């Protein structure tokens, strides 16, 4: 898989919401979560356990894989900032339609299906489902539970979340590589 070479300066370059960002001379052990919350003020991505176990900090990375774009969810609390280089990053703030303000279909599905209570885990669930939305048409229950395997919720009991996504599965179908 070919990725753009790191610039000689060691700067990290990545795309966020369609804009190229460059981070110069940062601490290589700074996490993506720290960068988002502390440097960019994007506090929609939550810190729960800070050790890769709860999924509250889930974001999505996109990268070229041959001729297609591959989307995958990651735990931003254990992902170091330099690993963003040459990739596109999506956070929960990326999903709302900028023109209309409409929620993304996966957000709407959770809202309609009462898939959120206190809401702390919700951005992480949304991002795992966004990765699923980008990679799999009409996901079945097994695919949905698989996609959510790394996300913990202490309020909903998961049933409403999975049911909401199942009910909306038809609208959660989109060819990989599309932008919304």
47 binds ligand FES per the rule CB under 6 A: yes
Question: Binder to ligand FES among 34, 73, 107, 116 (CB under 6 A)?
Answer: 116
Query: For the residues of 117-149, what is the DSSP string, one character each?
Result: SS-SSHHHHHHHHHHHHHH-SS--HHHHHHHTT
Neighbours of 159 (CB within 10 A): 10
Element (H, E) at 165: helix 159-167
Strand 12-16 to strand 88-90: parallel, antiparallel, or no bridges (unpaired)?
A: parallel
Q: Would you say 68 or 154 has its CB closer to ligand FES?
A: 154
Query: What is the spatial distance between Cα 170 and Cα 50, in angstroms, rounded to a whole number?
Result: 34
Residues from 91 through 110 that contact ligand FES (CB under 6 A) = none
Question: Binder to ligand FES among 40, 102, 111, 118 (CB under 6 A)?
Answer: 118
- Whole-number minimum distance, CB 127 to ligand FES, in Å? 11
32 binds ligand FES per the rule CB under 6 A: no
Residues that bind ligand FES (CB under 6 A): 47-50, 52-57, 75, 77, 116-121, 153-156
């Amino acid at each position: 898989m070919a990725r753009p070479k790191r610039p000689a300066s060691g700067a990290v370059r990545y795309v966020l919401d369609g804009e190229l960002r460059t981070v110069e001379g940062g601490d290589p052990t700074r996490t993506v979560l720290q960068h988002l919350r502390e440097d960019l003020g994007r506090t929609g991505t939550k810190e729960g356990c800070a050790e890769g176990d709860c999924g509250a900090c889930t974001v999505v990375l996109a990268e070229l894989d041959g001729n297609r774009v591959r989307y995958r969810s990651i735990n931003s609390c254990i992902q170091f900032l330099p690993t963003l280089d040459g990739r596109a990053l999506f956070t929960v703030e990326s999903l709302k339609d900028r023109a209309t303000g409409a929620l993304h279909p996966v957000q709407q599905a959770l809202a309609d299906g009462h898939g959120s209570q206190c809401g702390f885990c919700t951005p992480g669930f949304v991002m795992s489902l966004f990765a699923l939305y980008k990679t799999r048409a009409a996901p079945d229950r097994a695919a949905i539970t698989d996609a959510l395997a790394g996300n913990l919720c202490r309020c909903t009991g998961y049933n409403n979340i999975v049911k909401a996504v199942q009910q909306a599965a038809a609208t959660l179908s989109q060819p990989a590589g599309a932008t919304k």
